[in-house]
């Protein structure tokens, strides 16, 4: 499920790209604008974590129950990628408040302006994560990538019940399995081989990591604006998995259903559905994200094709209950 990059422009600004690979093409996606001052609950649990959003944000939801990808008005981007190895520990044996994995990415968008702030808060997490079962019977396990306007980056993974944080602006690529440190080790070997000689070609996560790392390093740094946006999206398109391809036993090896870009400095969130012919975007600078504003959104792959700036086309939507 997915590939994530951080592209640097010629003017040393940054765009985070993400491709959503998933094995349920009927899943419902929507792009949603969430205002500041919104009271949140970590899910339908007796001891659910609660907080009030400090920052407004735009994010892509799954199943009307999970925030999978988004950017807040401070320029922080959060991406939740499927992670089969995740083990958050047993929330029923903890006294900490509970947050659903579907709300984890949104927690960062609501509360932090920078990667450094988020990492510092996660040194001693104020909650424990629960991963509910999906309709296919698998737990909805994920790891999180964070990036901000400065180009800072962090990868957060729970392994054997313990949180591991990889924090460096050098971490510009992320996929799914294996664990991030193993991904780095595999990529180190392929750097010795040299991408101009040979690259691994399967659609599994480790191979995608190697290929997209080479493509990211090889792509020129275009000037900020249309060319930089196009360059970042071209990398995401080149690493996508064609519609219809899947491995039923491995949901992280599935077709790419959509691709997003978070332009940190221009505060613009782009999305391209694989099932529609055009790119569309939301300009956070034009949104009313003030406290008391309504939640608004637009359904992806609905009856109407979206294209261009859809900021003014967002309409009121129901509150999300995190799975």
Q: Which residue has the tokens 């300009």?
A: 283
Each residue of 140-153: pLDDT tens digit? 899 999 999 999 99
Report pLDDT for 101: 96
Domain boundaries, the chain: 3-316
For 174-209, how does the pLDDT look when each residue is reduced to its tens digit (9 = 90+)? 999 899 999 999 999 888 888 677 889 888 889 999
pTM: 0.95
Residue 321: the pLDDT is 84
Distance in angstroms (rounded) separating the CA atoms of residues 118 and 108: 7
For the chain, what is the mean pLDDT? Answer: 92
Whole-number Å distance between alpha carbons of 79 and 272: 16
The closest alpha carbon to 309, from 271, 252, 264, belongs to: 271
Q: What is the DSSP letter of 104?
A: H
Q: Which CATH superfamily is domain 3-316 in?
A: Penicillin V Acylase; Chain A (3.60.60.10)
Q: How many helices (H) and strands (E) does the chain have?
A: 5, 20
* pLDDT at residue number 135: 66
CB 227 within 8 A of CB 236: no
pLDDT tens digits along 256-293: 999 999 999 999 999 999 998 899 999 999 999 999 99
- What pLDDT, on the 0 to 100 scale, is given for residue 282? 98
- Amino acid 250: pLDDT: 65
Joined together, the tokens standing for residue 172 give: 């510009």
3-state secondary structure of 19: strand
2 labelled catalytic: yes
Separation of alpha carbons 168 and 72, rounded Å:
20
According to the model, what pLDDT value does residue 272 have?
Answer: 96
């Amino acid at each position: 499920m997915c590939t994530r990059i951080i592209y640097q422009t010629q003017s040393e600004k940054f765009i985070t790209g993400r491709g959503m690979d998933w094995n349920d093409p009927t899943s419902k996606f929507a792009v949603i604008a969430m205002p500041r001052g919104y009271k949140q609950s970590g899910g339908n649990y007796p001891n659910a974590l609660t907080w009030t959003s400090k920052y407004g944000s735009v994010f892509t939801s799954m199943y009307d129950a999970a925030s999978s990808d988004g950017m807040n008005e401070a320029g922080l981007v959060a991406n939740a990628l499927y992670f089969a190895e995740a083990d958050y520990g047993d929330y029923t044996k903890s006294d900490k408040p509970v947050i659903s994995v579907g709300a984890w990415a949104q927690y960062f968008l609501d509360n932090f302006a920078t990667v450094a702030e988020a990492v510092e808060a996660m040194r001693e997490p104020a909650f424990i994560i629960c991963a509910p079962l999906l309709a296919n019977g698998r737990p909805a396990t994920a790891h999180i990538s964070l990036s901000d306007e400065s180009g800072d980056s962090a990868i957060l993974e729970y392994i054997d019940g313990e949180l591991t944080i990889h924090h460096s602006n050098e971490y510009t690529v992320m996929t799914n399995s294996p664990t991030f440190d193993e991904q780095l080790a595999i990529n180190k070997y392929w750097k010795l081989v040299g991408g101009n000689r040979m690259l691994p070609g399967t659609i599994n996560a480790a191979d995608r990591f190697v290929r997209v790392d080479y493509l990211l390093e090889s792509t020129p740094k275009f000037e900020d604006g249309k060319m930089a946006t196009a360059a970042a999206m071209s990398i995401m398109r080149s690493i996508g998995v064609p519609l219809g391809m899947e491995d039923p036993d491995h949901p992280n090896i599935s077709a790419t259903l959509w691709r997003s870009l978070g332009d940190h400095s221009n505060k613009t969130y782009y999305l391209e559905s694989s099932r529609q012919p055009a790119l569309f975007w939301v300009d956070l600078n034009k949104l009313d994200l003030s406290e008391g504003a309504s939640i608004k959104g637009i359904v992806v792959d609905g009856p109407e094709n979206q294209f261009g700036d859809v900021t003014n086309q967002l309409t009121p939507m129901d509150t999300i209950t995190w799975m």
